[in-house]
């Protein structure tokens, strides 16, 4: 019996792409680079700062300027962390329904805690979540199942009692490794080269409301 739902954050629970795109474009401007269109930035947002810097600057962690650019990007993002970020349409209603049925929900993300916690606070969700697990909460991050096990412990659930919802292959991989039922959120930040059908999720959804038919059959 399912008693709780755990969500990835960026691209699953919340539409953070507008603020992350703003941070990248402000960083590009700072370094006298051309800004990028939102449509090009959105699909890579789930993969964090490293993917954004690779997209905008064409460099990786081995580059001597990478860490300086990364810190600038993340500082701009932190200062504007909930300027345009909202829950995906239908998500607030889903969370309310979960709570009304005396079930629990939480967040397991690879976003670092110093960004996750301010964002959850800004969205007024911190007090509602049964767990908030960030990318640096445990020794391993997704696709390792350890963060999901930690989230279950915080939420006082067994993994088999949980659904895990994410928009990236690592989310589905982590959920399956933890022994949870997995849901691929196709409304999230899916890249052109992604083939979600190959992730072997238990369910695929196009809208958060579809989770209710899985959760409350």
**Can you list the positions of beta strands (E) in the chain?**
4-7, 14-15, 86-87, 104-108, 132-133, 162-166, 181-185, 203-205
Q: Choose, from 10, 15, 19, 167, the residue flagged as catalytic.
A: 10
Q: Is 194 assigned a catalytic role?
A: no
Q: Is 92 assigned a catalytic role?
A: no
Task: Say how far apart CA 34 and CA 27 lie, in whole Å.
Answer: 10
Tokens encoding 34? 């051309």
Task: Say how far apart CA 107 and CA 111 lie, in whole Å.
Answer: 11
Which of 55-89 are b and which e, b meaning 16 or more Cβ less than 10 Å from the residue's Cβ? bbbeeeeeeeebeebbebbbebbeebbbeebebbe
Rg (CA), the chain: 17
CB atoms near residue 201 (< 10 Å): 24
Q: Choose, from 8, 15, 167, 171, the residue flagged as catalytic.
A: 8
Enumerate the active-site residues: 8, 10
């Amino acid at each position: 019996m399912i008693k709780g739902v755990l969500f990835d954050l960026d691209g699953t629970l919340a539409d953070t792409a507008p603020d992350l795109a703003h941070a990248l474009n402000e960083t590009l401007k700072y370094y006298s680079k051309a800004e990028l269109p939102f449509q090009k930035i959105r699909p890579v947002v789930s993969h964090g700062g490293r993917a954004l810097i690779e997209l905008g600057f064409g460099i990786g962690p081995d580059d001597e300027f990478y860490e300086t650019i990364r810190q600038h990007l993340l500082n701009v993002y932190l200062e504007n962390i909930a300027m345009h970020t909202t829950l995906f349409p239908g998500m607030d209603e889903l969370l309310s329904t979960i709570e009304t049925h005396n079930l629990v929900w939480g967040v397991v993300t690879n976003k670092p805690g110093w960004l996750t916690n301010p964002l959850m606070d800004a969205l007024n969700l911190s007090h509602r979540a049964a767990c908030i697990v960030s990318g640096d909460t445990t020794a391993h991050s997704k696709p390792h199942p350890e963060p999901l096990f930690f989230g279950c412990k915080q939420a006082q659930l067994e993994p088999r009692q949980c659904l895990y919802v994410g928009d990236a292959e690592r989310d589905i991989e982590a959920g399956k490794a933890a022994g949870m039922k997995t849901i691929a959120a196709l409304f999230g930040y899916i890249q052109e080269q992604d083939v979600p059908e190959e992730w072997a999720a238990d369910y695929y959804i196009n809208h958060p409301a579809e989770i209710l038919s899985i959760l409350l059959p």
